[in-house]
Amino acid sequence: MIRRDPYPTRLEHRSDPIPRREPVVHGGAGRDGPLTAQHLAQFERDGFLVLDGFFRPREVRGFLEDLEAYGRDPALCERPQVIREADSGAIRSIFAIHRLSGRFDALVRDSRLLELAGQILDGDVYVHQSRLNRKPAFRGRGFAWHSDFETWHAEDGMPAMRCISISVSLTENNDLNGPLLLIPGSHRTFYPTVGATPERYWERSLQQQRIGVPDVEDLAASVRDGGIVTARGGPGTVTVFDCNTLHGSTDNLSAMPRSNLFFVYNSVENRLQQPFAAAEPRPEWVASREHVEPLEPLRSQRSAVA
């Protein structure tokens, strides 16, 4: 049976942008949670929110220490979910961190984060992907402009735009250390990309993405409309962004390291299918297809990060 694809991508030739079909706030606006009506309106308009002071700096300090310890664990460093920089060999990302320790599992189920996800996605969610992105001083490398949904649709078979990322910064993010950059309003358009997905592309794309990135003309139009916003803030800042918001970041040429956690929450009604534009599904550590149980919030608000 031929499956209809509302968002064809990884094409031979450039194809026109497609307007988003799904809502941005999925009817959860009436729910209780950390976001005000004004936040939700802003998220709907821009496709992201930067919430400085969501967690207190001391609440996130322990996570940074855990992560530095992971970097010194030889058994862990051998695993495929630990991604290194192509040039320096420095650790760039660690995937599936919420399955590495109880502390990260507790943070991913922190009731404040789950309520926030519920306000946008309406209903139960599970973790599609979690990771640490690390950008050490001087050697940390950037990420090309992209929409996560484009990759998750093409390579993982995510059917619809009912998914968000929540980033928790573990260090300060400032203009110099390679902060996340976002294009406001870009979440309302799907930009089909040019070029077929190579076999086992994840083995390269997580170091440097070349396929699945928008055409420069499309990027230029998007920036002309929306501009570029920097997600700045101290440790504990939470940045929430829609799965289709264009984002990227530059290298870290500064002397200040930058580390951010990313938790990707997907609606249980938006589970993965077969990839739309790749030969085989990616591994479980980068895209959950088996671990899709709805997340249960932690009863005590403070226990996750105390």
Give the interface with ligand 6CS as residue ranges (CB under 6 A): 129, 131, 143, 146, 148, 151, 205, 209, 286
Shortest distance, position 296 Cβ to ligand 6CS, whole Å: 24
156 binds Fe ion (CB under 5 A): no
One residue of 110, 122, 148, 172 binding Fe ion per CB under 5 A: 148
Shortest distance, position 12 Cβ to ligand 6CS, whole Å: 22
Residue matched to tokens 């026109």: 16
The residue (of 50 and 298) whose beta carbon lies closer to ligand 6CS is 50
- For residue 266, how many other CB atoms are within 10 A of its CB? 26
Q: How far is CA 2 from CA 10, 67, 193, 276, in A?
A: 18, 44, 21, 11
From 18-26, 143-151, 205-213, 269-277, give the range in contact with Fe ion by CB under 5 A.
143-151
The residue (of 148 and 242) whose beta carbon lies closer to Fe ion is 148
The residue (of 111 and 249) whose beta carbon lies closer to ligand 6CS is 249
Distance of CA 280 to the CA centre of its chain: 21
Shortest distance, position 7 Cβ to ligand 6CS, whole Å: 16
Beta sheet of 229-230, edge-to-edge order: 143-146, 247-249, 181-182, 229-230
Q: Is 293 exposed, middle or buried (0-12, 13-18, 19+ CB in 10 A)?
A: exposed
Hey, what amino acid is at 211? I
The residue (of 177 and 245) whose beta carbon lies closer to Fe ion is 245
User: Which among ligand 6CS, Fe ion, none contacts residue 270 (Cβ within 5 to 8 A by kind)?
Assistant: none
Shortest distance, position 21 Cβ to Fe ion, whole Å: 21
From 4-12, 40-48, 133-141, 147-155, give the range in contact with Fe ion by CB under 5 A.
147-155
Helical H segments across 169-272, by residue range: 202-205, 216-226
DSSP 188: G
Of 83, 179, 177, 182, the closest CA to residue 139 belongs to 177
Shortest distance, position 247 Cβ to Fe ion, whole Å: 6
**Would you mind telling me the total number of residues written for the chain in this entry?**
306
The residue (of 29 and 144) whose beta carbon lies closer to ligand 6CS is 144
The residue (of 205 and 244) whose beta carbon lies closer to ligand 6CS is 205
How many Å apart are CA 207 and CA 201, to the nearest integer?
10
Residue matched to tokens 């440790």: 235
Shortest distance, position 143 Cβ to ligand 6CS, whole Å: 5
How many Å apart are CA 26 and CA 55, to the nearest integer?
25
Shortest distance, position 209 Cβ to Fe ion, whole Å: 9
Shortest distance, position 48 Cβ to Fe ion, whole Å: 12
The residue (of 40 and 127) whose beta carbon lies closer to ligand 6CS is 127
Tokens of 269: 């009604």
The residue (of 94 and 305) whose beta carbon lies closer to Fe ion is 94
Helix (H) or strand (E) holding 102, with range, is: helix 102-108
Tokens of 122: 């309406």
How many Å apart are CA 257 and CA 173, to the nearest integer?
9
User: Which among ligand 6CS, Fe ion, none contacts residue 151 (Cβ within 5 to 8 A by kind)?
Assistant: ligand 6CS
Rounded to 10 degrees, what is the CA torsion of 258, 261, 266, 272? 80
**Contacts to Fe ion by CB under 5 A:** 148
